[in-house]
Amino acid sequence: MTPTILPLSFYQRSDVVAISKELLGKTLLTEINGQLTGGTIVETEAYAGPEDKACHAYGNRRTKRTEPMFQAGGTCYIYTCYGIHLLLNIVTYIEGIPHAVLIRALEPTFGVEMMLKRRNKPKLDRTLTGGPGALSQALGITKDLSGQPLGTTIRIKDHGTAIASDNVMSSPRVGIAYAEEDALLPWRFRIKDNPWTSPAK
C-alpha cells in the first residue's frame, strides 16, 4: 500500500461534518527535529464556524486567536486550552469561512518510543494519545505550528483504509455546555469499538 498525502481539495469542501468522518482512519504524522511520530486518527469533532455556538469563531467573530481558522482549508489551527493543553485542529473549507475539525484521539503507530518519552510514560496505554491535550503533547506540537499549512511539519496521509459508515459512531460534544442547544449536535465522531477512543456510550 502506497500512502498518499491528502490533497488540499480534500479539506476545502464545504461539508465539515463529512470531512470529520472521512478523516477517521487516516494517518496523522508530525516531523519535529527529524523525529517522525503519529498514528491513525480514531476520534474527531466538527466545528462549523458561523453557525456553531460551540465554535470560537461563532457569528464570524474574527480575532487574533481565531485568525488561523479563517484561512483556507488545509491549515493548522492550534489553540491553548486551560493554559496547559494544546488542541490540534485542521482548518477546512475556504478562506474567510471558519470551519475546523478537532483531532481528539489517535491510535499510536509511528515513533511510539518518542511519544512515550514526550509524555514521560513508561509504557503504551490509552492515555498516551487519548484526548486532544495528551495527543498534542505526544506529537510534540507547539503553538508555533498554528497557522501553518499541512504537508510540512504536520501531514495527514491516506493509507486507503476507508471506515465503513457502520463503524462510525457519533455522539454529542463535551466540554461546551455554554453552547446551549448546539452542544447537543452529534458532531463528535469516533471509530466504533476502537480501544484508543474513549469507551463507547
Residue 170 makes contact with DNA by CB under 7 A? no
User: What string marks each residue from 104 to 133 as x (binds DNA by CB under 7 A) or -?
Assistant: x--------------x-------x--xxxx
Site for DNA contains 102 (CB under 7 A): yes
Q: Identify the residue whose cell numbers are 499510536.
A: 108
Question: CB of 85 within 8 A of CB of 132?
Answer: yes
Q: How far apart are the first and last CA of the chain?
A: 34
87 binds DNA (CB under 7 A): yes
Q: Environment class of residue 63 by beta-carbon count within 10 Å: exposed (0-12), middle (13-18) or buried (19+)?
A: exposed
Query: Applying CB under 7 A, does 174 fall inside the site for DNA?
Result: yes
Count Cβ atoms below 10 Å from residue 42 Cβ, excluding itself.
Answer: 25
Cell of 40: 491513525
Query: The cell 463535551 sits on which residue?
Result: 174
Q: Is 66 in the site for DNA (CB under 7 A)?
A: yes
3-state secondary structure of 39: strand
C-beta of 47 vs 196, nearer to DNA: 47
Answer yes or no whether residue 178 interacts with DNA by CB under 7 A: yes
Q: Rank residues 26 and 118 by Cβ distance to DNA and give the closer one.
A: 118
Which residues make up the interface to DNA (CB under 7 A)? 45, 47, 54-56, 61, 63-66, 69, 77, 79-85, 87, 89, 100, 102, 104, 119, 127, 130-135, 173-176, 178
